[in-house]
Amino acid sequence: MTNFFATGHIADLILVIMALECVVLIAYRRLTKRGIPASGFLLNLLSGFCLVLALRGALAGAGWAWIGASLAIAGLAHAFDLTMRWDRPTV
C-alpha cells in the first residue's frame, strides 16, 4: 500500500474516477434531461483534475515546470468557475 501512494498510483486512480464521474454526469444529463448541465461543473472538475495532476507529479518526482503548470491551470479554471458563478446585479 505504501508503494501505491509513493509512486503516485493513488492519484491515477483518483483521475480515472474523476473522468468516469464526468462521463456519467454528462450521459445522465443527455439521457434524462435532468441533473447538472456540463457548464455547471466542468470548470470545477478541471480545477480539481489539475490539482490531482500536480499531486501525481509531486509523488512521482516530476519537474517543477510540470507541477507548476498543473497548479496554474487549476488556478485559472477555479478563477473562471468563480467568475461564471458570481452573482451579477440585475438592472
* CA atoms lying within 13 Å on the CB side of residue 42: 6
Q: Judging by beta carbons within 10 Å of its beta carbon (0-12, 13-18, 19+), is residue 49 exposed, middle or buried?
A: buried
List the one residue out of 23, 69, 75, 26 whose CA is nearest residue 48.
75
| C-alpha span between 63 and 23 (Å, rounded) | 30
Domain that holds residue 39: 2-85
Say if 35 falls within a structural domain. yes
Domain count, the chain: 1
Say if 67 falls within a structural domain. yes
pLDDT the model gives residue 20: 97
pLDDT the model gives residue 11: 96
Q: Which residues of the chain have pLDDT under 50?
A: none
Say if 91 falls within a structural domain. no
pLDDT the model gives residue 91: 72
Say if 90 falls within a structural domain. no
